[in-house]
Amino acid sequence: MTRITDLENRAVLITGASTGIGAALARAFAAQRCRLALHFNSHEEEARALAGELARDGDEPALIRADLSQRGAARGVVDEAAGVLGGLDVLINNAGGLGERRPIGDVDDSLFDFVYDLNVRAVLAATQAAIPHFEKRGGGNIINVGSIAGIDGGGAGASVYSTAKAAVHNLTRHTARDLAKKKLSARLAAKELGRSTGAVKYKAMVEGIRFRYIDQPAGVQKKLARKAKRAKKK
């Protein structure tokens, strides 16, 4: 991977970093010699293995465990990350999930609240918590990981998840506008269903919707590293 010297020693928090795209991003930013805080929830074994893999000069990335579907957890993760890293330069809101697939008639308050708390409220709370830490550093970057489901509605039974991701897309737009005045930046990286999630092809779920594989996580990590670099220059 090409070295991006602007990222060296930057303090980076990645939520949902234990597996899949989050773990790939951790490897990408570690390769740029960033200082990392990796959030995880249920995949403790994978998170600890990743931290060991990314250890440098005897120092491992900080691991922070939290259930981001619980209100208040996201702010705590950001503040803890800033504390252990001595500040914060980049926040990557990657954690999310659809909970379970249900037809629209079977969606209840419990599922709706879980999906929106995890995918939307946590992103907003983490963003709000990161701003004062960025201001102390004189700048900062937020990257929100969205989904193609937020654009085309996703597969069958994903009504709540897809609308939550659409909310993330528009939340990112408004965050970027508001933070531009503070010389901070926010960007969106939308992912499609693909091999990185172990999902079946779209066409197996929804007839007639064209499917394209997302890049493997190795491809996603390069794109997001470039986004962070461009944001840093602004």
Q: Taking the model in full, what pTM does it have?
A: 0.82
pLDDT tens readout for residues 2-15 = 667 778 889 999 99
pLDDT, greater one: 211 or 46: 46
What CATH number does residue 49 fall under?
3.40.50.720
Instruction: State the average pLDDT for the chain.
Output: 84
Looking up tokens 């779209």 gives 202
The CB-based long-range contact list for 102-107 (8 Å cut-off, 24+ gap) reads: 102/157, 102/159, 102/160, 103/156, 103/157, 104/159, 107/159, 107/160
Query: What confidence tens digit (pLDDT) does each residue in 119-176 have?
Result: 999 999 999 999 999 999 988 999 999 888 888 888 899 999 999 999 999 999 999 8
Q: What is the pLDDT of residues 182-224, one digit of tens each?
A: 878 888 775 543 334 433 333 333 333 333 334 445 555 555 5
- Choose the catalytic residue: 116, 161, 202, 213: 161
- Quote the CA–CA distance of 122 and 128 in Å, as a whole number: 10
The total of structural domains in the chain comes to: 1
Q: Find the domain containing 109 and state its range.
A: 5-233
Integer Cα distance of 105 and 98 in angstroms: 16
The answer to whether the CB of 12 falls within 8 A of the CB of 32 is no
Name the DSSP letter for residue 16. S
DSSP 18: S
- Tell me whether residue 161 is one of the annotated catalytic residues: yes
Side-chain-side CA neighbours of residue 133 (13 Å): 29
pLDDT of residue 7: 84
